[in-house]
């Protein structure tokens, strides 16, 4: 699979579907720099010409965005969108829609292990 800045929704759909399965079925959005992409829910492509405000922001800024959109298909629902880069250039954006209303994001934060757990503890008496 070769994804580039001009890949279409049809071309990026297999990767988006794989990520959808990886995050236990949470909705996924993905688009490339030059073309609209896909919106996936319940293991189905529900829109193959999709874009959204946070995807657009990430394509423009090139930084991870974690926010609650004020407009679009996922208005009022937390999303995390990351840029996909190649040779330092943003070519696409992928988003996870946290339909758990933030519980998914909270669990990911809560389950992070403190760095101290990776350090040797010494003898336990």
What is the pLDDT, as a whole number, of residue 99?
83
Give the three-state DSSP class for 78. coil
Nearest to 79 by CA among 27, 42, 32, 36: 27
Looking at per-residue confidence, does 108 or 73 come out higher?
Answer: 73
Quote the domain boundaries for residue 34: 9-114
Structure tokens at 34: 């030059």
Mean of the pLDDT values across residues 62-71?
94
Residue 121 lies in a domain: no
User: What are the beta bridge partners of residue 44?
Assistant: 41
CATH number at residue 37: 3.30.450
Lowest mean pLDDT among 67-76, 79-88, 105-114: 105-114
Q: Structural domain tally of the chain?
A: 1
pLDDT of residue 116: 47
Contact between 18 and 46 (Cβ < 8 Å): no
Cα–Cα–Cα angle for 31, 32, 36, rounded to 5 degrees: 55
Nearest residue to 45 via CA among 35, 31, 59: 31
């Amino acid at each position: 699979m070769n994804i580039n800045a001009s890949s279409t929704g049809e071309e990026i759909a297999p990767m988006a579907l794989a990520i959808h399965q990886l995050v236990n079925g949470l909705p996924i959005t993905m688009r490339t720099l030059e073309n609209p992409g896909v919106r996936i829910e319940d293991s189905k492509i529900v829109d193959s010409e999709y874009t959204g405000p946070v995807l657009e922001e990430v394509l423009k800024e090139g930084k991870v965005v974690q926010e609650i959109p004020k407009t679009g298909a996922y208005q009022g629902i937390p999303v995390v969108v990351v840029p996909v880069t190649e040779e330092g250039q943003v070519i696409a954006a992928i988003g996870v829609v946290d339909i758990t209303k933030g519980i998914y994001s909270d669990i990911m934060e809560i389950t992070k292990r403190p760095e101290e757990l990776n350090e040797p503890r010494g003898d336990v008496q």
